[in-house]
Amino acid sequence: MKYHDFRIRIEAKRGNGYDVSVNSPAGSANEHIVLPFDIDEAMQQFHDMGRAVRGASDRKVVMEGPAPVKPSEFGNQLFRALFTGRVGKLYNAMSRDLQDPNVGLRINLHLNLNDPSVSALAGVPWEFVYDADTMDYLNLSKQTPIIRYLDVQRPNTLQPLSAGKLKVLAVMSSPKGMHELDLDKERKLIETIMARDKEIELTIKEHPTPNKLRLWLTQDEYHVLHYMGHGTHDDKTGVGALVLEDEDNNAVLLDAETLGTFLRNAPTVRLAFLNACDLAKTDEDSPFSGVANRLVMAGMPAVVAMQFPISDDAAIAFARSFYARLESGHAVDEAVAHGRNAILADKPGSMEWGTPVLYMRTPDGRLFEKPRKARAELSAPKQPVPVPVADGTVAVTKKAIGTVAGIAAAVLAVVAGIFFWTSGRSVTLDFDVTASDALTAYIDVPKRLIVGPKEGDGGSQHLARYTVDIAAPAGVTGVTVGETSIINDVWQADLTAGNEGEFEILATISDKNKPNADPLKKSVTMGVTIEPAVQTDYDSAIASIKEPGNDTESIVAELTRLEALGLSDEMRETLVSTKEQLDGVVQAKSLARGTFDSATIMLTEKIGAYDDWFEGLKSVRGFEPTATDYPEVIEEYDDVRNAITVTDFTLCASRPPCSAGVRFRAGTTVFEVISHTPDVKTQGVFVRYLLKPDLELIKLSRFKLAGNTTSIGGSALSKRGSYEVRLFNDDGDLLKSQEIEIH
């Protein structure tokens, strides 16, 4: 399928609608759209819709309230609001190409998440957009998928499928004290789905703690994280979170930002699939919308999340078709479209096909590079091949770890040691603790410690008799030790250090046949350093802050990338503090640039917004913008400042001066009092009287300024109520506003 991109950006809220820009092969356009509902008032209806779609058909009313609406009616309201004016013309022009079944129109819906009034639209079920003229739901056709698209300043490269297989890590969480999930049933469901495709390799993990999840993601090369459990909102961080478990199976929150950091250290994971299981009995809100957005912003190429609770039958149908298409090399949005149709085929008339939501940042929807070799060749046994990893060393497959002693890409740097142990038959067992990069490891990069018998020393026959515990001795901080497990006839454990220094690691060997004997212990020392490339990138990023030619957003993106790498405590503290200050500059910039074209923000506030931004640049980055480095910004700033001509504005019932909030009787003449500079006495101004709360225009007065003070009468208002009175110059810039009351 060849897709053309139809990019719709909802930029900012203005008045009773939203400013929209569109970019497509047929051209670009700007438009102002008005949605058929107030977003705050409609949120409860969306919740009602979520409760109703399970088992509901298009013939049923699923949105309750004063004016009940069927899904198709609601979807058509969205369609007519979104594809209006110039946007609709471009859409119609592009739709003509859809006569070719091999050509599709990918509708990328961009929401400005930095604007709260726009980010609230993430709760709108856009997946139900319906074209009444063609009687089609756009999302049910693979030719017109609707995706939530986020622009992320991070590299996006395809990942090869290891041995041609799609490797899925399924994580199930059901902590105590929450609505209990049937994990046994969920296990059977996911195994049933995956077992039908031999090219999908499934690994299931239960009872995840945050640290266990981090280790699972880095111990093997997975392509998909499939999470089944509860989602919620973390009040401490202000973002969505997964509900994991602690060691006692109590609920613990893993916020999306932290999960994003984990996933950045697992670069082969290209997709997160968030399944709310059966949450109909508990959560009414979309549990994963905040998590999905944050994961994509953190660099995840694609996230599939459920905006409503989904039934088991629908989840099975969707996942079965979705994963099969994804493994075959299809674009992720095309795979989602097939999954939607699979729900419709298994549950004719059901509206649950609209429950999955796709969040994406990859431009063409492709996540993986499918090897060109035939599957029969892919399944043939091969010798293990070293694979480069992030720190420049070489990794080998698990199968090769026990036999290739000299290759230690993913192993912990330790000093080789020998353990001597005498069995009941006086047989000496000789152990090695192996690694090639003798005393070196990197911060926050898991390293694997391997303990095993020497060649010719009995091999795997001793594994059942002895136990090995690998841990940091009491009092040692900064080192996290994963579970010790037997892999390829050796004991292995991943160790991660959080800061620089030397750390002692203790290996303890016990003989199960001699429970009363003192175990044999051996300690080795691990030296942890900062990877040279990390140090260089960090120094470069910090230095770039003071260079005017560097974009602040790009610097923040680079610092965010570095935050997930191995930094010392001092470096991390500096980075976090600097990033917070730069985020303030970015927000000030967004606010200033957003006020420029606004007709509801006063010029004085616009100037103040630009001044705040410039002050942030000066205090954080050490310079103020110039026309050379920021020509567009300086031009905007000068335009705003030059528009200030009226220095004061009041409304009075009789003679000035008077204060804001003046009360008038209906039918009383309202006097407009303007103070201004003498050199602009011939400039025109106009006053609008807007009746609140809907800001209905009741009266408009135009006049020219004369002298230093102008008093114009004759604006009689007879309609009772509260007014917002706004003064504009001839260019339409808002100069002042004031509240009055007519009674």
Give me the chain's average pLDDT, please: 75
Q: Among 149, 167, 198, identify where a domain stops.
A: 149
| Backbone angle region of 304, left / alpha / beta, with phi > 0 → left and psi within -120 to 50 → alpha | beta
pLDDT band at 150; cut points 50, 70, 90: confident
Q: What average pLDDT score do residues 454-460 get?
A: 53
Output the CA torsion sign for 457, 460, 464, 470: positive
Please check whether residues 599 and 547 belong to one and the same domain. Answer: yes
| Token duo for residue 623 | 């310079």
Residue 727 lies in a domain: yes
CB 249 within 8 A of CB 549: no
pLDDT digits (tens, 9 = 90+) for 330-374: 889 888 998 898 888 877 777 888 888 998 888 788 887 765 443
Which segments within 39-149 are labelled E, that is strand?
Answer: 103-111, 130-131, 136-137, 146-149
The pLDDT value given to residue 498:
79
| Residues near 126 by beta carbon (within 8 Å), at least 6 away in sequence | 78, 109, 146, 148
Q: Cα separations (Å) of 472 from 494, 565, 728?
A: 12, 22, 70
For 666, list phi and psi in degrees, rounded to 5: -60, 135
- Closest to 91 (Cα-Cα) out of 146, 140, 142: 146
Q: Among 511, 529, 547, identify where a domain stops.
A: 529
Burial label for 414, CB within 10 Å (0-12, 13-18, 19+), is buried
pLDDT at 62 exceeding the cut of 70: no
Residue 571 lies in a domain: yes
For 400, list phi and psi in degrees, rounded to 5: -90, -15
The string of DSSP codes covering 239-254 is EEEEEEE-TTSBEEEE
Residue 634 lies in a domain: no
| Token duo for residue 35 | 């949605």
| Residues near 437 by beta carbon (within 8 Å), at least 6 away in sequence | 393, 408, 411, 413
d(Cα 690, Cα 697) in Å, to the nearest integer?
5
The pLDDT value given to residue 737:
82
The pLDDT value given to residue 711:
65
Q: Cα separations (Å) of 626 from 618, 619, 629, 638, 727?
A: 12, 15, 6, 12, 32
| Whether the bond into 693 is cis, omega within 30 of 0 | yes
Beta strand 734-742 with 662-664: parallel, antiparallel or unpaired?
parallel
The pLDDT value given to residue 153:
57
Residue 637 lies in a domain: no
For residue 472, give the DSSP letter: P
d(Cα 627, Cα 612) in Å, to the nearest integer?
18
Containing 13, the helix (H) or strand (E) segment is strand 2-14
Residue bearing tokens 């703690």: 209
- Closest to 240 (Cα-Cα) out of 248, 229, 249, 226: 229
Which segments within 380-519 are labelled E, that is strand?
Answer: 387-388, 394-395, 418-422, 428-434, 440-442, 447-453, 466-471, 479-481, 485-487, 490-497, 501-511
Please check whether residues 409 and 482 belong to one and the same domain. Answer: yes
d(Cα 698, Cα 678) in Å, to the nearest integer?
31
Q: SS3 of 108, please?
A: strand
Other CB atoms within a 10 A radius of the CB of residue 368 amount to: 21
Could you tell me the maximum CA-CA distance found in the chain, to the nearest angstrom?
114
Q: Pseudo-torsion of CA 339, 345, 346, 349, nearest 10°?
A: 110
- Closest to 228 (Cα-Cα) out of 197, 265, 187, 178: 187
Residue bearing tokens 């260089």: 536
| Whether the bond into 68 is cis, omega within 30 of 0 | no
Please check whether residues 261 and 246 belong to one and the same domain. Answer: yes
- Closest to 653 (Cα-Cα) out of 670, 666, 631: 670
CB 123 within 8 A of CB 330: no
pLDDT digits (tens, 9 = 90+) for 587-640: 888 888 888 877 678 787 888 889 999 998 999 999 988 888 888 888 888 887
pLDDT band at 47; cut points 50, 70, 90: low
pLDDT digits (tens, 9 = 90+) for 535-584: 888 999 999 999 988 889 889 888 888 887 778 878 888 999 999 999 89
d(Cα 124, Cα 43) in Å, to the nearest integer?
8
Please check whether residues 505 and 595 belong to one and the same domain. Answer: no
pLDDT at 534 exceeding the cut of 90: no
Burial label for 40, CB within 10 Å (0-12, 13-18, 19+), is exposed
pLDDT band at 388; cut points 50, 70, 90: very low
The string of DSSP codes covering 322-346 is HHHHHHTT--HHHHHHHHHHHHHHH
End-to-end CA distance of the chain: 65
Q: SS3 of 95, please?
A: helix
The pLDDT value given to residue 581:
92
Other CB atoms within a 10 A radius of the CB of residue 57 amount to: 14
d(Cα 258, Cα 713) in Å, to the nearest integer?
62
The CATH number of the domain holding residue 176 is: 3.40.50.1460
Please check whether residues 168 and 133 belong to one and the same domain. Answer: no
The CATH number of the domain holding residue 519 is: 2.60.40.10
d(Cα 608, Cα 726) in Å, to the nearest integer?
19
d(Cα 95, Cα 80) in Å, to the nearest integer?
15
The proportion of the chain whose per-residue pLDDT surpasses 70, expressed as a percent, equals 74
| Residues near 609 by beta carbon (within 8 Å), at least 6 away in sequence | 588, 591, 592, 595
What residues pair up with 360 in beta bridges, in sequence order?
A: 149, 302
| Token duo for residue 467 | 């136990």
Q: SS3 of 681, please?
A: coil
Beta strand 520-529 with 662-664: parallel, antiparallel or unpaired?
unpaired
The pLDDT value given to residue 395:
32
Residue 225 lies in a domain: yes
Length of the chain: 743
pLDDT digits (tens, 9 = 90+) for 653-669: 555 556 656 777 777 77
**Across 43-57, 155-169, 723-737, least confident range:** 43-57
Please check whether residues 495 and 579 belong to one and the same domain. Answer: no
Please check whether residues 218 and 332 belong to one and the same domain. Answer: yes
Burial label for 565, CB within 10 Å (0-12, 13-18, 19+), is buried
Residue bearing tokens 């020393």: 457
Please check whether residues 187 and 334 belong to one and the same domain. Answer: yes
Residue 376 lies in a domain: no
Total number of domains constituting the chain: 5
Please check whether residues 561 and 608 belong to one and the same domain. Answer: yes
Q: Among 336, 369, 402, identify where a domain stops.
A: 369
The pLDDT value given to residue 316:
79
The pLDDT value given to residue 482:
78
Q: SS3 of 58, please?
A: coil
Please check whether residues 501 and 548 belong to one and the same domain. Answer: no
Containing 703, the helix (H) or strand (E) segment is strand 696-704
For 69, list phi and psi in degrees, rounded to 5: -130, 135
Q: Which range marks the domain in which residue 8 is found?
A: 2-149
Please check whether residues 706 and 663 belong to one and the same domain. Answer: yes
pLDDT digits (tens, 9 = 90+) for 275-295: 864 332 223 344 445 688 788
Residue 635 lies in a domain: no
Sheet holding 721-729, edge to edge: 662-664, 734-742, 721-729, 684-691, 696-704
**Across 43-57, 183-197, 257-271, 657-671, least confident range:** 43-57
Please check whether residues 177 and 263 belong to one and the same domain. Answer: yes
The pLDDT value given to residue 674:
74
d(Cα 95, Cα 211) in Å, to the nearest integer?
49
Residue type for 371, please?
A: P
CB 226 within 8 A of CB 170: yes
Q: SS3 of 634, please?
A: helix
pLDDT at 378 exceeding the cut of 70: no
Residue 7 lies in a domain: yes
